Amino acid sequence: MTTARPLHRPLPEESLRVLRGRRLHRPMLAPWMVMVLIGVVAFLGLGFARTSLDRSAFELDRLDRAITEQVAMNEQLRLEIARLENPARVAPLAEEMGLVIPGDTRQLLVDLGGPAVVSNDEGGTQ
């Protein structure tokens, strides 16, 4: 009869020993730390958004002032045009330049099929 032998020879007991020591702890974020981190990020995000909105508001204010100035300038130019086109101002200047209102008027009738006919106020033709 044969007896069974182990495949490996067992190690002597003195080669194995248990070391007592501190248990390894990995740092763990507490839930309140996560909430504080989220709060800080939200605060910074709101500050950035507010800064962007304020910058846009300043730009809109600048554009509104520019529009107001241009509207006022447009009104002044319209008044200047009305003053310069006033017949009471234009008539004396025209007379100084030798322009006069014609005494007699003639009508020129154009017939596209024949020669032009000129008529006087007296009713005759030339």
126 pLDDT higher than 50: no
Please give the DSSP secondary-structure letter assigned to residue 47: H
pLDDT, residue 97, reads 92
Q: How far apart are CA 126 and CA 120, in angstroms?
A: 8
Tokens of 58: 């300043």
In the predicted model, what is the mean pLDDT of residues 75-98? 93
Task: List pLDDT tens digits, range 36-72.
Answer: 999 999 999 999 999 988 999 999 999 999 999 999 9
Alpha helix segments (H runs only) across 1-126: 31-85, 87-96
State if pTM tops 0.75. no
Task: List pLDDT tens digits, range 17-38.
Answer: 777 777 777 666 688 888 999 9
pLDDT, residue 43, reads 94
